[in-house]
Amino acid sequence: MMLTLLSLVLAQADVDGGFEPLAVDAGVVASASPDAGAGESGPADARGEGALTWTPIVDAFGEFQARFPRDAAPNNTFTVPRVQLGVQADWRGASGRVLLEGVYATQGGALIGVAGDSVVVRIREAWGGYRWRFLEAQLGLIPTLVVPEVERAFLHRELSPDGLEAYRVKAPADFGGLLRGHLPAGYGWVGVSVTNGEGYTSRELNTGKNVELAAAVHPLPRGVLEPLTVLGFAMVGTSGPSSARANRFGGGALWQGKTLGLGVTAASVQGWLDDGSRQALLVQGFARAELFGRLLLAARVHLFNRDTTQPDQVLELIGGVGVKVEPVELFLAVHRTSLSGAALTALPGVDSTDVRLVVRVRWPPLYP
Amino acid sequence: MRGGWWCLVLTGCVGSAPAREIEVATVIARNDEVMIRSRPALVAGRYQRMASNAFDFYRGNLALFRQDWELGRSSRSGFLGVTPPVWGLADPHPENFGILIAADGVAAIEPNDFDSADRVPFLFDVRRLVGGLAVGARLANPQLSTAVLGEAAARSYAATLTALASGAAPQRATASSDPIAADLFRRSQRDLTNRAELLFLTEVKEGQRRFRRGVIDPEEPTQFLADVPPEIVAQVPEALRRVQGAPGFEVLDVVREFGSGVASWARVRLLVLVQGPTEAPGDDVILEVKELPESMVAGWYRPALPASDTPARVESAARRAWFRPDADPRFFATTWLGLPVLVRTESEAFKSVRVRRWEGDRASLTSLTTLAEWTGALLARVHAQSEPETVRAIVTQLERGPDVFAAEQGAFAEAHSAQVLEDFAHFQAALTRLGPTLGITQDPRERAPDLASRLFGDPTP
| Shortest distance, CA B156 to any CA of chain A (angstroms) | 23
- Nearest-Cα distance to chain B for A355, in Å, is 14
pLDDT of residue A202: 86
A196 contacts in B (CB within 8 Å)?
A: none
Rounded to a whole number, what is the distance in Å from the CA of B8 to chain A's nearest CA?
A: 5
pLDDT, tens digit, 9 for 90 and up, residues A119-171: 788 899 999 999 999 999 999 999 999 999 999 999 999 999 999 999 999 99
Residue of B8, B13, B14 to mutate, interface with A, max A Cβ within 10 Å: B14
Q: Does A3 touch chain B (CB under 8 A)?
A: no
pLDDT bucket at A206, cuts 50 / 70 / 90: confident
d(CA B142, CA B136): 9
Least Cα separation, residue B247 to chain A (angstroms)? 32
Please judge whether A116 and B448 are an interchain contact, meaning their C-beta atoms are less than 8 angstroms apart: no
- How would residue A10 be classed by pLDDT, with cut points 50, 70 and 90? very low
Residues whose CB is less than 8 angstroms from the CB of residue B170 and which lie 6 or more positions away in sequence, other chains included: B164, B323, B381, B384
How far apart are the two ends of chain B, measured CA to CA in Å?
A: 35
Three-class secondary structure of residue B393 per DSSP: helix
In chain B, which residues have pLDDT < 50?
1-3, 12
Query: In this model, does residue A17 exceed pLDDT 80?
Result: no
Of the candidates B61, B5, B40, B54, the one whose C-alpha atom is nearest the C-alpha of residue B296 is: B61
Burial B267-302 (b: 16+ CB within 10 A, else e): bbbbbbbbbbeeeebeebbbbbbbbbbbbbbbebbe
pTM score: 0.90
Contacts of A342 in chain B (CB under 8 A): 71-72, 75-76
Q: Do A244 and B70 touch (CB under 8 A)?
A: no
Q: How many Cβ pairs within 8 Å bridge chains A and B?
A: 193
Q: What is the pLDDT of residues A67-87, one digit of tens each?
A: 999 988 899 999 888 899 999
Distance from the Cα of A252 to chain B's closest Cα (Å) equals 24
Whether A275 sits inside 8 A of B19 (CB atoms) is yes
Span B172-189, pLDDT tens digits: 999 888 899 999 999 999
Separation between Cα atoms, residue A300 and residue B229, nearest integer Å = 58
C-alpha–C-alpha distance, residues A298 and B236, integer Å: 56
CB contact under 8 A, A243 and B303: no
Of A244, A274, A346, the CB nearest to B69: A346
| Per-residue model confidence (pLDDT) at position B245 | 66
Looking at residue A255, its amino acid is: W
Taking Cα atoms as reference points, which of A214, A247, A246, A220 lies closest to residue A232?
A214
In this prediction, residue A65 carries a pLDDT of: 95
Asked if A345 lies within 8 A of B72 by C-beta distance, the reply is yes
Q: What's the confidence (pLDDT) of residue B14?
A: 67
More confidently predicted of B48 and A206: B48
- The reported pLDDT for the residue numbered B305 is 79
Q: Which helix (H) or strand (E) holds A268?
A: strand A260-272
Element (H, E) at A366: none
pLDDT of residue B280: 80
Please tell me which residue, B176 or A225, carries the higher pLDDT value: A225
Q: How confident is the model at residue A261 (pLDDT cuts 50, 70, 90)?
A: very high
Tell me which amino acid residue B412 is: F
Spatial contact of B329 and B319, defined as CB atoms under 8 Å apart: no
Report chain B residues whose CB lies below 8 A from the CB of A108. 34, 292-294, 310, 340
| Closest to B238 measured CA to CA, from B257, B259, B254, B256 | B254
Does B84 sit within 8 Å of A240, measured CB to CB?
no
| Mean predicted confidence (pLDDT) in A331-352 | 96
Nearest CB neighbour to A346, from listed B19, B23, B72: B72
- C-alpha closest to that of B333 among B307, B306, B313, B311: B311
User: Is A113 at the interface with chain B, CB within 8 A?
Assistant: yes
B300 inside 8 A of chain A by CB:
yes
> Between chains, do B71 and A346 touch, taking CB under 8 Å as contact?
yes
User: Do the strands B86-88 and B97-101 form a parallel or antiparallel pair, or are they unpaired?
Assistant: unpaired
Beta strands, E only, B160-250: 202-205, 208-211, 214-215, 224-227
Q: Which of B398, B379, B385, B362 has the alpha carbon at shortest distance from B158?
A: B398
Q: What is the distance in angstroms between the Cα of A306 and the nearest Cα belonging to chain B?
A: 8
Q: Considering only the beta carbons, identify the residue of A210, A274, A347 that sits closest to B23.
A: A274
R_g over Cα of chain B: 22
* Residue ranges of A 299-358 with Cβ closer than 8 A to chain B: 306-307, 310, 312, 341-349
Answer for the pair A94, A129: CB distance below 8 angstroms, yes or no: yes
Residues of B in contact with A72 (CB under 8 A): 84-85, 119, 301, 304
Contact B67 A273 (CB under 8 A): yes
Partner-chain contact A112 B449, CB within 8 Å = yes
CB count in 10 Å sphere of residue A1: 5
The predicted structure's pLDDT at residue B246: 64
Provide the CA B34 distance to its chain's centre, in angstroms: 20
- State the pLDDT at residue A7: 41
A157 in contact with B, Cβ within 8 Å:
no
- Report the alpha-carbon distance of residue B272 to residue B251 in Å, rounded: 7
B327 alpha carbon, distance to own chain's centre: 17
A179-196 pLDDT per residue, tens: 999 999 999 999 999 999
Tell whether B388 lies on the interface with A, counting CB pairs under 8 A: no
Question: Measured between CB atoms, which of A110, A236, A239 is closest to B12?
Answer: A236
Residue A11 has pLDDT above 50, yes or no: no
Dihedrals phi, psi of A232, to nearest 5 degrees? -145, 145
Decide: residue B230, CB within 10 A, 0-12 exposed, 13-18 middle, 19+ buried: exposed
Q: How confident is the model at residue A105 (pLDDT cuts 50, 70, 90)?
A: low
Per-residue pLDDT of B378-417, as tens digits, reads 999 999 999 999 999 999 999 999 999 999 999 999 999 9
Tell me how far apart the alpha carbons of residues A17 and B26 are, in angstroms, rounded to a whole number: 32
Average pLDDT value for chain A = 86
Alpha carbon distance A269, B442 (integer Å): 31
Q: Which residue of A has its CA nearest to B296?
A: A107
Q: How far is CA A363 from CA A51, A126, B93, in A?
A: 21, 18, 52
- For B118-140, b/e burial (b = at least 16 CB within 10 A) is bbbbbbbbbbbbbbbbbbbbbbb
Cβ atoms of residues A61 and A80 within 8 Å: yes
Q: Kindly tell me if the per-residue pLDDT of A9 is higher than 70.
A: no
Contact call for A77 and B35, based on CB within 8 A: no
Judge: A342–B75 Cβ closer than 8 Å, yes or no. Answer: yes
Asked whether the beta carbons of A18 and A30 are under 8 A apart, the reply is no
Examine the pLDDT at A42 and tell me if it is beyond 90. no
What is the nearest CA distance from A251 to chain B, expressed in angstroms?
21
Would the CA dihedral through B358, B361, B364, B368 be positive or negative?
A: negative
